[in-house]
């Protein structure tokens, strides 16, 4: 039993450390920025990444970076989302490095850094096709010509992001374009620059030896935390663990019911989705005390393969447990492995208790 009404997310820090170490050893010439945003900047998760070989931590929100600082993380911290100019001082204080592409914001960072006697490092983001953040290639050199004159901002490198929005796959061609731009950028600023080639979606190319060797930095989150290839959502490597996160929720109802609703059906459920049902006769169903307010049901994979997730409302997860013998008892916990989207929600939800220990089945 897990306690009345409790939803518990078990976090296996040893698995996170092991996954980080596996990737770091396979890519010894590539610095890994461990991305903690899925875990809302959790310090224990960040420290596990650092023990495994990450050289810095990155997050997209100032609040999460402050959390990492508050718990004593000493590694360099990267802000992975461009901040508006009004948050320049917050950025300079919270982050050692930030990703940027807007001149107005970079000038604001320069002014904020100057006011406290600091030098703030920026990675200039270039859009090589995914259409998320970044200047277009033809805009890069004019931007660098202006930024190099700023006294309290240091251009640390160039970066790009692929797959997250436009689903563009990293290739030797688009990453080669970034490398060529980095050569020209280095001439403008007068020193070598790091080349941050992307995120977890780069790993299949990198591990296959197809990533340009000049890419010396990657920002890795999901593949460390969940062990998955973000292009296929399958296990990236046999040696990567998939069980770093297990969520457990108690059964609050377990009854035999028809598999088809009875009555006039609405055109949509409470979340605007069109429900589809299949007549399978009478089936034993269980309801767990977790719902869409906590995690998307499509992203919860039952640990025991004979359980089927049928759907969810805001606070109820409906399961087909016909194949379980004996059927679950009231209060018995059901265990699930969350995908990225579900884990992100679980960490964000105040209704979910996080336990940093290997899961107890």
Residue 281, judged by CB atoms within 10 A of its CB (0-12, 13-18, 19+), counts as exposed
Q: Both ends of the chain: CA-CA distance in Å?
A: 11
Q: Residues 216, 217, 222, CA angle at the centre, nearest 5°?
A: 140
Residue 350 within a domain = yes
CB 319 within 8 A of CB 334: yes
Q: Cα–Cα distance between 121 and 98 in angstroms, integer?
A: 7
217 and 319 belong to one structural domain? no
120: in domain: yes
361 three-class SS? coil
What's the total number of domains in the chain?
2
Residue count (the chain): 361
Please list, residue by residue across 12-27, b when 16 or more beta carbons sit within 10 angstroms of its beta carbon and e when fewer do: bbebbbbbbbbbbeeb
Residue 261: the pLDDT is: 83
Residue 265 is predicted with a pLDDT of 72
Three-state SS at 245: strand
The answer to whether 338 and 233 have CB atoms below 8 angstroms apart is no
pLDDT given at position 5? 62
Tokens of 226: 């969940």
CATH code assigned at 314: 2.40.30
φ/ψ of residue 154, rounded to 5: -115, 125
Domain boundary among 231, 260, 295: 231
107 Cβ neighbours under 8 A, 6+ residues apart: 85, 150
* Those residues with Cβ within 8 angstroms of residue 181's Cβ, 6 or more apart along the chain or in another chain: 126, 137, 140, 158
3 occurs within a structural domain = no
Query: Is this model's pTM higher than 0.85 or not?
Result: yes
Same domain membership, residue 125 and residue 28: yes
**Annotation says 37 is catalytic:** yes
pLDDT tens for the chain, residues 1 to 361: 555 567 999 999 999 999 999 999 999 999 999 999 999 999 999 999 999 999 999 999 999 999 999 999 999 999 999 999 999 999 999 999 999 999 999 999 999 999 999 999 999 999 999 999 999 999 999 999 999 999 999 999 999 999 999 999 999 999 999 999 999 999 999 999 999 999 999 999 999 999 999 999 999 999 999 999 999 999 999 999 999 999 999 999 999 999 888 877 776 666 677 777 788 889 999 999 999 999 999 999 999 989 999 999 999 999 999 999 999 999 999 999 999 999 999 999 999 999 998 654 4
Radius of gyration of the chain (CA): 23
- Assign residue 87 the CATH number of its domain: 3.20.20.10
Same domain, 71 and 220: yes
Name the DSSP class of 297.
G
Q: Which residues of 137-164 are buried (b: 16+ CB within 10 A; e: fewer)?
A: beebeebbeebeebebbbbbbbbbbbbe
Same domain, 213 and 265: no
207 and 64 together in one domain: yes
Q: What is the C-alpha to C-alpha distance for residues 272 and 175, in angstroms, rounded to an integer?
A: 39
Q: Which domain holds residue 260?
A: 245-355
pLDDT for position 276: 78
CB 121 within 8 A of CB 156: yes
- Is there a domain that residue 227 lies in? yes
At residue 256, the pLDDT reads 96
| H helix or E strand, kind and range, residue 320 | strand 317-320
Considering the domain boundaries, does residue 236 fall inside one? no
pLDDT for 132: 93
The per-residue pLDDT for 281 is 87
Determine which one of 37, 107, 151, 354 is catalytic. Answer: 37
Domain boundary among 169, 196, 231: 231
pLDDT of residue 268: 66
266 and 225 fall within a common domain: no
Output the pLDDT for position 267.
66
């Amino acid at each position: 039993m897990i306690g009345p009404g409790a939803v518990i997310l078990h976090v296996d820090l040893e698995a996170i450390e092991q996954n980080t170490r596996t990737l770091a050893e396979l890519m010894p010439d590539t610095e890994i920025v461990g991305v903690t945003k899925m875990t809302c900047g959790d310090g224990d998760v960040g420290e596990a990444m650092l023990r495994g070989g990450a050289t810095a931590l990155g997050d997209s929100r100032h609040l999460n970076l402050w959390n990492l600082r508050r718990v004593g993380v000493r590694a360099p911290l990267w802000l992975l989302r461009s901040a508006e100019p009004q948050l320049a001082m917050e950025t300079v204080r919270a982050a050692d490095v930030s990703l940027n592409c807007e001149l107005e914001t970079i000038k604001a960072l320069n002014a904020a850094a100057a006011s406290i006697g600091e030098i703030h490092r920026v990675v200039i983001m270039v859009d090589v096709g995914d259409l998320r953040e970044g200047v277009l290639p033809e805009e890069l050199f004019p931007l660098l010509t202006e930024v190099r004159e700023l006294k309290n901002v240091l251009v640390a490198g160039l970066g790009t992001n692929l797959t997250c929005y436009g689903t563009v796959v990293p290739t030797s061609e688009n990453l080669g374009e970034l490398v060529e731009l980095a050569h020209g950028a280095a001439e403008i600023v007068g020193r070598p620059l790091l080349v941050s080639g992307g995120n977890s979606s780069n790993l299949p190319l990198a591990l296959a030896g197809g990533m340009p060797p000049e890419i010396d930095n990657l920002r890795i989150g999901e593949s460390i935390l969940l062990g998955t290839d973000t292009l296929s959502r399958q296990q990236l490597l046999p040696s990567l663990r998939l069980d770093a996160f297990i969520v457990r929720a108690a059964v609050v109802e377990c009854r035999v019911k028809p598999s088809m609703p009875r009555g006039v059906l609405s055109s949509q459920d409470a979340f605007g989705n069109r429900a589809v049902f299949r007549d399978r006769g009478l089936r034993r169903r269980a309801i767990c005390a977790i719902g869409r307010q906590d995690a998307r049901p499509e992203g919860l994979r039952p640990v025991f393969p004979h359980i089927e997730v049928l759907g969810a409302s805001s606070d109820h997860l409906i399961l087909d447990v016909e194949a379980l013998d004996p059927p679950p008892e009231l209060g018995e916990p059901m265990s699930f492995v969350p995908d990225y989207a579900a884990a992100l929600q679980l960490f964000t939800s105040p209704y979910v208790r996080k336990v940093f220990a290997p899961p107890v089945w």
